[in-house]
Amino acid sequence: MIRLKPLTDQVIVITGASSGIGRATSVMAAEAGAKVVVAARGRDGLETLVDEIKASGGNASACVTDVADAAAVERLAAFAIESYGTIDTWVNNAGVAIAGKLEDLSEDDARRVFDINFWGMVHGCKAALPHLRHDGGVLINIGSVTSDVSAPFMGLYSASKQAIKGYTDALRIELMMDHAPVAVTLIKPSPIATPILEHQRNRTDRQATMPPPFYEPGDVAKTILLAAVNPERDLYVGGTGMVGSLLGRAFPNLADATSAMLGREMFQTAKARDDRPDNFDAPSAKAGIAGSTHGHASHLSIYTALRTGPLRHVAAAGALGRMLLQGIRGR
Cite the active site residues: 157
Q: Are 13 and 89 in contact (CB under 8 A)?
A: yes
Whether the ω angle into residue 213 lies within 30 degrees of 0, i.e. cis, is yes
d(CA 209, CA 76): 33
Residue 155 burial (CB < 10 Å; 0-12/13-18/19+)?
A: buried
DSSP E strand boundaries for the chain: 11-14, 35-40, 59-64, 89-92, 98-99, 137-142, 182-189, 201-202, 206-208, 214-215, 234-237, 268-272, 298-299
What is the three-class DSSP state of 69?
coil
Cα atoms in the Cβ-side hemisphere of radius 13 Å centred on 272: 2
Q: Are 227 and 140 in contact (CB under 8 A)?
A: yes
Given the DSSP bridges, would you call strands 268-272 and 206-208 parallel, antiparallel or unpaired?
A: antiparallel
Q: Are 207 and 273 in contact (CB under 8 A)?
A: yes
Backbone angles phi, psi at 205, to 5 degrees: -95, 0
d(CA 64, CA 310): 37
